[in-house]
Amino acid sequence: MAIVAVATIVLGLLVPLISPNKTSNKVLSAVLLTFALIIIYLGVVAFPETRLLQLPQPFYLGLAPFVFRFDQLSSIFLVLLGTLTAAVSLYIPGYLKHHDGSPKSAAFWINLFLFVLAMASVVVAANALTFLLYWELMSLSSALLVAQDLKTRSGRRAAFIYAGATRLATAFLAVGFLAFGNHFQSWSFSDWHPEEPALLPPSILILLGLSIKAGLWPFHIWLPYAHPAAPSPVSALMSGFMIKTAIYAILRIFVLDTALTPAVALVLLCIGAVSAVWGSLFALVQEDLKKVLAYSSVENIGLITVALATSMYARSAGNQALADLAMVAAVLHCINHGVFKALLFLCAGSVDIRTHTRLLSRLGGLGWKMPSTMLLFIAGCACICALPPTNGFASKWLIYQSLFKSLSLAFAPTDQEPTSLLFVLVIGCLALTSGLTIAGYTRAAGMVFLGRPRSGDSAHAREADREMILAKTILAGLCLGLGIVTPSLANLFNIRLLPTLPLPVIAVFFLLTVLFLYLLSRAARERGEGRRVDSWECGYGSFNGRTQISPESFSQPVAYLFRPILLYRMNSDITGADRRHFPDKIRSETSMKSLLETSVYKPIVNLFVNAGKHLARLQAGSVHMYLLYVLCSLVGLLLVGALL
């Protein structure tokens, strides 16, 4: 196995060197597919027993050796990564062929290989330094993948925001890791047991760094910028796997074999719940299809964090069985979300390359042109809305189960009323989230695939290539399959508390509901008289792309309800002589801004930009000015050093 692992690394590093410019995309994607299959193989082989793999002497990180650890947790993540990469590798050639303003092929492939290699290494890194090294590689290569299109303002902005977020995350992580390494006199994750109260500050730093990467509220700000800018297959990997590496690290450092103070767990619980509601709410009102998906990643990371926090809380309360259940729920939701979010991103990519737009207000009616893509997208939506019997339902159900069970745990000691109240609130938030998610994805699928085209581009779209459909079909099949095998997957971990999931009953019930709704709608249609257009056309004549429901109008009721958070504003302007009955012109304008972005991040960024402008004056261009700086700082530092 060691040989295979080393061969993988060598392969990953060699491919960029074989000058991707001259090789065709198909060959490179075949290599990527092989790479993905090797990763899956490694994951499967490593599952039964834990193995350590240390690189020989010349490869050394200064303070610690390169060590990789293959155990159950990392092999689950490896298999997920391999699966997603395999699907993406099938998808890419078709995507690149039709992508307008095609990304620079050589840079794209090099970064993609490095990205996959780094992600695979992050989840098997056994010590902090190896982890940090690959974490950096992952951040940088993904930042370069996001920065494909630097010519447009939005592309530059996305690259800037994403690069800033990754720098911040790495800085926090590095400081926290240094403190931990110093305290435990070891860099190995297995030696780290951060229960002691003295280790709380570095633990919080590490959690901060990881939550920036995971996209937890309020650090989710980079997701809605990075995803629309990145090519769709890259978004699929980033959202499907990269943000999960942060969850993996939280699991590895703070959940397995350690128990943080309950306070941290409860704070994480709240943040997770807020992320879930926030993400689903913003997903509902976005204009850009990929921003919808990006915000829904925030929501799902929130759900996963809720499960993680429940696990931490249960462990600190001494209830091991419940802790295991919640942890399994978190891991399973990671897997499931990875699969269906990748599916949705790939579908969004197909829509993008066929219509050259991602704006919901310009799409519509694609169901007739791209039937397979529509079916697959709706399958993904069903998963993400957690409709049984899909995998989204199975893992969300486990999350709810663990929350309900921890409710009884929180109620048990009578003096913990506030805590139990908190859990009730979180359950409420999750229920709200589910509702908002269903609304959001109904809107997304409806606006893209149903109705009539809202622009010429979407009227002339064609179905995606066969390979792309194949990639998506694999993922969709996995979604359904995982829904059915999730209970048995959970059994792999010997969870004592695992409740039996009456999946067939639920599925049958669900299918009956669908059937009932279908018959109802059919009966309604048959009874209806059809459309007749009056002579004076007060029925507004026949329908066209502009008379159907628009994305804004669909989400308006909810947006209005949450207007303080969304900063939602709507201005209607009706003009005409008798404007009540015969208006000449009706103008209606809605605007929405993110509260966090405008009132928290913007001032901070502006402060830095302005400070940077003033500091730039220091760069006078004169050698003598620079020497003066050198002399002054030299004398100053020496004096400070001598006087302190």
Partner 1 sequence: MNLTLSEFFAVGAVIFAIFMSGTIQLRTNLLLYAIQTLLVGVVTAAFYLASNESQYLWLALVVILVKAAGISLFLAWVLRRINVFRDGATYLPIPIAMHVCILMLGIAHFLADRLPAPPDQSLHLQAGSAESGIALVLIGTLFMLTRKTAVSQIIGFLTMENGIYLFTLAQAHGMPMAVELGILLDVLVGVMVAGVITFRIQKSFEHIDVTQLRDLRD
Q: What is the DSSP string of 121-142?
A: HHTTB-BHHHHHHHHHHHHHHH
Closest C-alpha among 478, 396, 378 to residue 434:
396
Block residue for tokens 């939005």: 154
Q: How far is the CB of 153 from partner 1 (least distance, A)?
A: 21
Considering the complex, state which of residue 197 and residue 621 has its C-beta at the smaller distance from partner 1.
621
Q: How far is CA 484 from CA 326, 341, 390, 509, 524, in A?
A: 19, 18, 7, 15, 34
Positions that interact with partner 1 (CB under 8 A): 619-624, 627-628, 630-631, 634-635, 638-639, 642-643
Considering the complex, state which of residue 610 and residue 633 has its C-beta at the smaller distance from partner 1.
633
Q: How far is the CB of 634 from partner 1 (least distance, A)?
A: 7
Classify strands 51-54 and 569-575 as parallel, antiparallel or unpaired: unpaired
CA angle 151, 155, 157 (to 5 degrees): 115
Considering the complex, state which of residue 505 and residue 632 has its C-beta at the smaller distance from partner 1.
632
Considering the complex, state which of residue 63 and residue 627 has its C-beta at the smaller distance from partner 1.
627
Considering the complex, state which of residue 431 and residue 635 has its C-beta at the smaller distance from partner 1.
635
Considering the complex, state which of residue 580 and residue 624 has its C-beta at the smaller distance from partner 1.
624
Block residue for tokens 């290539």: 465
Considering the complex, state which of residue 527 and residue 624 has its C-beta at the smaller distance from partner 1.
624
Considering the complex, state which of residue 561 and residue 620 has its C-beta at the smaller distance from partner 1.
620
Q: How far is CA 322 from CA 179, 217, 548, 574, 623, in A?
A: 31, 26, 49, 59, 66
Q: How far is the CB of 183 from partner 1 (least distance, A)?
A: 28
Considering the complex, state which of residue 413 and residue 636 has its C-beta at the smaller distance from partner 1.
636
Q: How far is the CB of 146 from partner 1 (least distance, A)?
A: 24
Quote the distance between the C-alpha of residue 204 and its chain's center.
22
Considering the complex, state which of residue 456 and residue 636 has its C-beta at the smaller distance from partner 1.
636
Q: How far is CA 141 from CA 217, 239, 242, 279, in A?
A: 24, 15, 11, 26
Q: How far apart are CA 9 and CA 124, in angstroms?
A: 12
Block residue for tokens 């249609």: 525
Closest C-alpha among 404, 392, 208 to residue 300:
392
* Contact call for residues 135 and 48 (beta carbons, < 8 A): no
Dig out the tokens for 210 from the structure: 């990881």
Dig out the tokens for 246 from the structure: 């942060």
Q: How far is the CB of 635 from partner 1 (least distance, A)?
A: 6
Dig out the tokens for 419 from the structure: 């805590």
**538 contact partners, CB below 8 Å, separation of at least 6:** none
Q: How far is the CB of 633 from partner 1 (least distance, A)?
A: 11
Q: How far is the CB of 104 from partner 1 (least distance, A)?
A: 24
Phi and psi torsions of 125, nearest 5°: -65, 135
The amino acid sitting at 109 is W
Q: How far is the CB of 160 from partner 1 (least distance, A)?
A: 18
Q: How far is the CB of 156 from partner 1 (least distance, A)?
A: 17
Considering the complex, state which of residue 198 and residue 642 has its C-beta at the smaller distance from partner 1.
642
CA angle 267, 270, 274 (to 5 degrees): 140
Closest C-alpha among 218, 180, 307, 211 to residue 255:
307
Q: How far is the CB of 640 from partner 1 (least distance, A)?
A: 11
Task: Kindly calculate the radius of gyration of the chain based on its CA atoms and give it in whole angstroms.
Answer: 26
Considering the complex, state which of residue 56 and residue 621 has its C-beta at the smaller distance from partner 1.
621
Considering the complex, state which of residue 542 and residue 619 has its C-beta at the smaller distance from partner 1.
619
Q: How far apart are CA 542 and CA 534, in angstroms?
A: 10
Q: What is the DSSP string of 457-523?
A: HHHT--PPPHHHHHHHHHHHHHHHHHHHHHHHHHHTTT-SSPPP--HHHHHHHHHHHHHHHHHHHHH
Q: How far is the CB of 157 from partner 1 (least distance, A)?
A: 21
CA angle 480, 88, 377 (to 5 degrees): 45
Strands annotated E in 22-143: 51-54, 67-70
Closest C-alpha among 65, 64, 38 to residue 53:
65
Q: How far is the CB of 643 from partner 1 (least distance, A)?
A: 8
Q: How far is the CB of 221 from partner 1 (least distance, A)?
A: 29
Considering the complex, state which of residue 17 and residue 609 has its C-beta at the smaller distance from partner 1.
609
Q: How far is the CB of 607 from partner 1 (least distance, A)?
A: 23
Closest C-alpha among 128, 161, 130 to residue 146:
161
Q: How far apart are CA 247 and CA 253, in angstroms?
A: 10
Considering the complex, state which of residue 531 and residue 624 has its C-beta at the smaller distance from partner 1.
624
Dig out the tokens for 306 from the structure: 């809720």
Q: How far is the CB of 417 from partner 1 (least distance, A)?
A: 59
